[in-house]
Amino acid sequence: MFELGDKVVYPHHGAGTVVQKELKNVLGENREYLTIRILHNDMTVMVPSDNVDKAGLRKVIGEDTVEEVLGVIEGGGTNMPKNWNRRFKHNRDKMKTGDIFELAEVVRNLSIRDGDKGLSTGEKQMFTKAKKILASELMYAKDMDEEKADDYLDDLLAKIAIKRGKTASKETIEM
């Protein structure tokens, strides 16, 4: 399903490259593992090939899907629970799906919330993580380097905040 050099997304950590496929003997059982190098957090993840669906591993979106994702980010916010821990769980569950559109919603909603009322400490950390994961995928989809992808997303969020009538500075959005 995945080959060496494929750009893939591991939902909990972001986008990376399949750098190795190998058979390993674990507990007396031979299984094929994919080794994925995730650039943005300098991490290497090994996933059993027969568990890629369960882990949510998928190929990076194409350039054509980027515009749809940006449309989600630019769209209106979703009604969110008022209670911060319910909101946190709601967003965490969206991020776990591995769906790029769900992730874009989390980034959008947390950005709006940050501009309107501010974020709890946990939500700030989630916002930072969600932006990193989204930027890591945009990096591959738009063929950018990591810093450029981070800046691209931060600039987009700052412009959207201004359009919404919020004067959130870039620093507020970057956290």
Residue 81: half-sphere exposure toward Cβ, Cα within 13 Å: 9
- pLDDT for the residue 168: 45
Query: Does the pLDDT at position 62 exceed 60?
Result: yes
Query: Does the pLDDT at position 174 exceed 80?
Result: no
Query: Does the pLDDT at position 150 exceed 50?
Result: yes
If one looks up domain 7-59 in CATH, what number appears? 2.40.10.170
Query: Does the pLDDT at position 65 exceed 90?
Result: yes
Query: Rounded to two decimals, what is the model's pTM?
Result: 0.85
- Domain(s) of CATH 2.40.10.170: residues in the chain: 7-59
Residue 83's pLDDT band, with cuts at 50, 70 and 90, is confident
CATH fold for domain 63-174: Methane Monooxygenase Hydroxylase; Chain G, domain 1 (1.20.58)
- Cα 141 to Cα 4, 15, 66, 128, 144: the distances in Å are 17, 10, 7, 20, 8
- pLDDT for the residue 115: 86
